[in-house]
Amino acid sequence: MTQVFTHDASRRSFLKGTAAFAGGLTIAVYLPGCSKPEEAAAPTSSGPVKANAWLHIGTDSKITFLCDRAEMGQGVYTALPTLVAEELGVEPKHIHVEFAPPGAEFVNGLLGAQVTGGSTSVRDAWGKLRAAGAEARERLLIAGGKALKGQPNLCRIIVNADGAGAVAMGNKSVPFGEVAAAAAALPKPQNVKLKAARDYKFIGKSLARLDTPSKVDGSAQFGIDVRLPGMLYAALAQSPTLGGTAKSFNADKAKSMPGVKHVLQTASGIVVVADSWWQAKQARDALQIEWDAGPNAKLNNAAIYAGLKAAAADTGQSVRKDGDADAALTASSRRMDAVYESAMLAHATLEPQNCTVEFRDGECHVHVPTQVQQFAQASAAKASGLPAEKIFVHTTFLGGGYGRRLETDFIPPAVEAAKAAGKPVKLLWTREDDMTHDLYRPPARDPVAGAFGADGRVSAFKLQIVGPSVTARWAPSVVANGALDPFAVEAAHNFPYAVPNVRIDYIRHEIGVDVGYWRSVSHALNCFAVESFIDELASQTEDDPYEFRRGLLWNHKDARWLGVLDVAARHAGWGNAPKGRFQGIALMSGYDSYLAQVVEISVEGSKLKIHRIVCVADCGQIVNRSIVEAQVEGSIIFGLSAALFGDINIEAGKVSQRNFDTYRTLRINEIPKIEVHMINSDDKPGGMGEPAVALVAPALCNAIFTATGKRIRSLPIAKQGFTI
Amino acid sequence: MIKLTVNGKEHEVDAAPDTPLLWVLRDLIGLTGTKYGCGQALCGACTVHLDGQPIRTCVTPLSSVGTRKVLTIEGLSPDRSHPVQLAWMELDVPQCGYCQSGQIMSAAALLARNPAPSDNDIDQAMAGNICRCGTYPRVRSAIHQAAKLLSTTDEKGG
């Protein structure tokens, strides 16, 4: 998805934001463009901002990169400085990385706000960060050349073991710190050239992650680890019924418990503040609260899916219309119908939601693991009553994101608690709070139909995508005036198969509870329906599922579809599985990447054994091979947990799953062998943080069909009579 | 006040005896490398060693620790030089990193009692540690790699 859209109007006023440097030991020299963040142009609806403010050269000549995307495992902390380093002419390890504050100059050009999501980080940074590095190099060489009384083209950039940079000519050199100000003051250099791909030293290699050392000794600071002088700890009691509110409460017992300092009612629930989090949590559990269950008191999964079923009678919005699918379906004597259902899912980041807030000197400092710095700022501004420029967002490492931290629901109660306490407060949710108060992956119930013509070829494909819209809540301006929600129709709008009559509609149907973006978003929902049903069509004609797809792709103008399919089949040994083993295949393009996956299983009774998953990705130019490989492995395991077990069940408005015993995720002893193959390419980079998630369910269910003849049309698989 | 020894250092803490060790380590002593993930010994993020044995601190009351020695990720080595840490860095195991302290402490305990674990041994020892990012393939490889480093160190007499 490369669609550019604007952020919410309501959030726009905060976009100018604040961009004070952390630390302050260095003179801030912004390279290139000599544009300070506060002077940077505000984004316009026509596209991304042009100002750059990622590089900071200290008086100590060291280079700091302001990482404007959140590091949640996907590797931006390494990949983004690699882009700068490649062109600047220094090693990535010589660049010190800090997380950027909210700021207009940090807006993601693909999403219209400062958002880490949609597997966009490298795609958005690819052009602008290499350009930033190249321009900075050019400026430093010009300024260094002047200082050394020589031509810039005779100068070179050197870095000592401590990471201090200098411009050198012959055996003379001048430290960055002495020329950075002059470099920043130069007119913008013209015709700065970027390296040719063949000259890359770092891009495309498997450079060590820059965050690994801090993640093997416990020093990496996640939100939950923030400690401020005099800080108190808070626990939050939220309505057990989604959308409910506290009618009244009695805190007498809680207040008498050790360490308890404050009990306050907030819009999010009742907050207990104490000297330690354990004390706060114990006292929270002792609160007597009368809840008003609210509008969801009778909501349950059966009603949700019944609502989705009924909604399929609506026309909805057209996503794709080639020819006349309805006429072709009616005309056919061989029509097939199926309905594909996907479960609601929790994100279950291993770090539960948390936020630490400190008010000092008329400012509000928010330390938070967030994927949305500007929205965090806006949320804290609203909760504190302070203007946005008084809100300072400090992004920590994220203990998992997967879309959960695109939300800000955990910020206001922390702000309110810190304000009431008059001291810094760290508010932390329990695992149970987190599991029962997520913004869940939308459920889906998608009718699909297909038909064969008299010539035996597929004549029609029709898909109705039915479900609630995340975007309508999260970024309403995107779907204003009847615009199609681009994040509901992924992996369907680009249906690649040569079928003359295709009709794909999107029917938005709200279910009563808010839903959220979940890693791979609608790709997972739609790929399950499309790639499973393609297999159903293949089985109808007794065609091999791989050959059947080939037959519908060979003439596609974009050869990358067939490319990944063929390479996956070859690496998987398609058609030559060992005796007793069965294969399933799935194909998808999303985030500007193309992927195919083959799952190999055996089945004994109801017991599945998943032996092997082969994934081939054509994601264009790779920035860090090792990180892409890890993302694919992790995505497959994430997708496999969901396909097998993932299921959020709502009963009387309450979520039944509470912890990892009832919301099962794969463990090390349960994973298959995973093989990742990447196609070498110098096409522009595609996103790789998410797409491999989406192919797991269809490829696995297709393998189950081949093995058993049982077609799974409703996830999770564990509810369809199979175990592992 | 209750006394306990963490990473070779004695601490006196003012906490109720039933306080889980996790919160004593994190909030009172300030060792935040040990993580909270589930509170019910389901995920392993809070794993430390108690006299060399891996335990889940989220369900270990402070009062049960006694004179036994607590070792956390911060105390595993002063300079990331433990073979498990070296192997973890060599293979770039962590993604988000949140579960990794627990993974590393479980792996270190495994290697201390079994210097050359099989895949099955690794499965047994590590099944209690959830990683939502799915770093398991690299966790497995890194444990084998750490075992190699250990055997090399042993041969050198170190």
Tell me: do B34 and B98 sit in the same domain.
no
Residues 648-707, chain A, touching B (beta carbon < 8 A): 659-661, 665-669, 671, 674
For residue B137, cis peptide bond before it (omega within 30 degrees of 0): no
Contacts of B101 in chain A (CB under 8 A): 218
**pLDDT per residue as tens digits for the range A460-497:** 999 999 999 999 999 999 999 999 999 999 999 999 99
A563, pLDDT greater than 90:
yes
Same domain? B143 vs B88: yes
pLDDT at B155: 61
Instruction: Please tell me the total count of domains within chain B.
Output: 2
pLDDT of A49 above 60: no
Q: Which of A15-24, A126-135, A332-341 has the highest mean pLDDT?
A: A332-341
Decide if A122 contacts A75 (C-beta within 8 A): no
Same domain, B89 and B58: no
> Where does the pLDDT of residue B156 fall: very low under 50, low under 70, confident under 90, or very high at 90 and above?
low
Does residue B71 sit in the same domain as residue B7? yes
DSSP A463: E
Looking at the complex, does the CB of residue B29 fall below 8 Å from at least one CB of chain A?
Answer: no
Partners of A669 on chain B (C-beta within 8 Å) are 123-124, 126-127
**Contact with chain A for residue B47, Cβ under 8 A:** no
Q: Which of residues 108-147 of B touch A (CB under 8 A)?
A: 122-124, 126-140
Q: Which residue on chain B is closest to A346 by alpha carbon?
A: B132
Does B17 lie in the same domain as B67? yes
Indicate whether A233 pLDDT > 50.
Answer: yes
Give the 3-state secondary structure of residue A200.
coil
Which residues of A, range 251-280, sit inside 8 Å of B by Cβ? 258, 276-278
What local confidence, expressed as pLDDT, does residue B56 receive? 98
Mean of pLDDT values over B110-118: 98
pLDDT above 60 (res A17) = no
The last residue of a domain, from among B15, B46, B76: B76
B56 and B113 housed in the same domain: no
What is residue A52's predicted lDDT score, i.e. its pLDDT?
A: 54
Same-domain status, B27 and B92: no
Q: pLDDT value at position B153?
A: 72
Is the per-residue pLDDT at A21 higher than 60?
A: no
* pLDDT value of residue A37: 37
pLDDT of residue A185: 87
Say whether residue B49 is in contact with chain A using an 8 A CB cutoff: no
One domain, residues B71 and B88: no
The CATH number for B138's domain is 1.10.150.120
Rounded (10°) angle between helices A696-708 and A521-540: 30
Q: Are residues B92 and B135 in the same domain?
A: yes
Q: What pLDDT, on a 0 to 100 scale, did the predictor assign at position A519?
A: 98
Q: What is the mean pLDDT of chain A?
A: 92
Q: How confident is the model at residue A13 (pLDDT cuts 50, 70, 90)?
A: very low
Question: Quick check: A568 pLDDT over 90?
Answer: yes
Domains and CATH numbers, chain A: 9-210 (3.30.365.10), 223-294+353-428 (3.30.365.10), 301-345+440-720 (3.30.365.10)
Q: What is the pLDDT of residues B28-40, one digit of tens each?
A: 999 999 999 999 9
**DSSP result, A474-543:** H-GGGGGGG---TTTSTTTTT--S--SEEEEEEEE---SS-B---TTHHHHHHHHHHHHHHHHHHHHTT-
Average pLDDT over residues B107-111: 98
Same domain, B48 and B64: yes
Which of B47, B76, B105 delimits the end of a domain?
B76
Domain of residue B59: give its range.
2-76
The answer to whether residue A622 scores a pLDDT higher than 60 is: yes
Contact (CB<8Å) A634/B126: no
Domain CATH number, residue B41: 3.10.20.30
- pLDDT exceeds 60 at position A15: no
pTM of the shown model: 0.94
* pLDDT, position A54: 87
User: Which DSSP letter does residue B105 get?
Assistant: H
One domain for residues B52 and B88: no
What is the predicted ipTM?
Answer: 0.98
What is the band of A6 on the pLDDT scale with cuts at 50, 70, 90?
A: very low
Same domain, B70 and B101: no
pLDDT score of A259 more than 70: yes
Q: Could you count the other beta carbons within 10 Å of the beta carbon of residue A219?
A: 15
Residues A278-306 pLDDT 10s: 999 999 999 999 999 999 999 999 999 99
In the prediction, which pLDDT does A105 show?
86
Residue A35 scores a pLDDT above 50: no
Last residue of a domain, one of B52, B76, B100: B76
Residue from the list A212, A277, A665 with its beta carbon closest to the beta carbon of B23: A277
CB A359 within 8 A of CB A418: yes
